Amino acid sequence: SQTFGGEAKITPNAESESEVDPWSLLQLVDGADRSGLFPPLFKVLSDRRGESPKLQPDSRALYYMKKLYKAYATKEGVPKSSKSHLHNTVRLFTPSTQNKQASGDQVTGLLPSDALQFNLDRVAAVEHLLKSVLLYTFNTSIPPPSALTCLCILAIHESRSSPAPLSCTLKNHKWMEIDVTSLLQPLVDSSERSIHTTVNFTCWLAQPPHPSGPEGPLHMSRLVPPSLILYLNDTSAQAYHRWYSLHYQRGPAQGPDLDRRGTETPRLSRHPR
């Protein structure tokens, strides 16, 4: 504790030592916040010690990402070695605003078109977009017919390209994906961080309606507003570069070698002496 005269009196206090916040160990002595020195993980962690995130995520979105995590990593959190994907970052955004522009048409299954806004501020400049999908989930206890075919017209207000018809892929009886990579790529690359989209659906059955489902046209208006998923490649040194580890033996936590010309060359596996 600091006495009035200013000389510090150290009063070792058991509980205060046990309560030492691990992050105070990381703070630099002069207290200057040079969190830029810390790898992004520590920057994120040290900025948010113990506080809960301001907004809680949608439960369906969290359920989807937990399934993705189980597919990509072991229980201990070690990424499974897979050549199927090269992205080392996946971000899921739920729409920050949504308003219906028109009521849906039950006859042809034309869905109400939704104006959705996504805020992509969390996408870092070092994260390059590899793929992007709009993920719809069916908010119904009656699973939709498996042979559902949909066509959707997607318009992104910030995009110069005209609305494009996109095919929808029914992932299983719960999810439907629309690949929007071609529309989103130029926007994310140009650091556009607020995206406004409108989506028009037309769905038809390739088979008779679900036996226990409601007769007549497909009741699609119970689609939950979509999430936007970005599959990114984080190019920072702290991120795990799967393709790099597959091809080169990385030395112990060192960067690539410099050859005589001073240009960076990836470290090839060292031959035993």
Partner 1 sequence: GQEVLSSESKKPLLPTSFNLSEYFRQFFFPPGECELHDFRLSFRQLKWDNWIVAPHRYNPRFCKGDCPRAVRHRYGSPVHTMVQNIIYEKLDSSVPRPSCVPGKYSPLSVLTIEPDGSIAYKEYEDMIATKCTCR
Positions that interact with partner 1 (CB under 8 A): 22, 39, 41, 44-45, 48-57, 61-62, 65-66, 68-69, 72-73, 75-79, 88-94, 119, 121-122, 234, 237-242, 245, 252-253
Q: How far is the CB of 50 from partner 1 (least distance, A)?
A: 4
Min CB(231)–partner 1 separation in Å: 10
Our CB check for partner 1 shows the closer of 83 and 160 to be 83
Residue 54 Cβ vs partner 1, minimum distance, rounded to whole Å = 5
Pick the closer one to partner 1 by CB: 45 or 130: 45
Transcribe 128-153 into DSSP letters: EEEEEEEEEEE--SSPPPTTEEEEEE
- Report d(CA 43, CA 88) in Å as an integer: 18
Would you say 220 or 228 has its CB closer to partner 1?
228
Whichever of 33 and 105 has its CB closer to partner 1, that residue is 33
Q: Which residues contact 109 (CB under 8 A, 6 or more apart)?
A: 201, 202, 203, 204, 217, 218, 220
253: exposed, middle or buried (Cβ count in 10 Å: 0-12, 13-18, 19+): exposed
Phi first, then psi: what are they for 125, rounded to 5°? -65, -30
Shortest Å distance, C-beta 63 to partner 1: 10
Token code pair at residue 209: 């309606």
Please, which residue, 167 or 238, has the CB nearer to partner 1?
238
DSSP code, position 245: H
Instruction: For the CB of residue 74, give the shortest distance to partner 1 in the complex, in Å.
Output: 8
* Sign of the dihedral through C-alpha 193, 87, 78, 93: positive
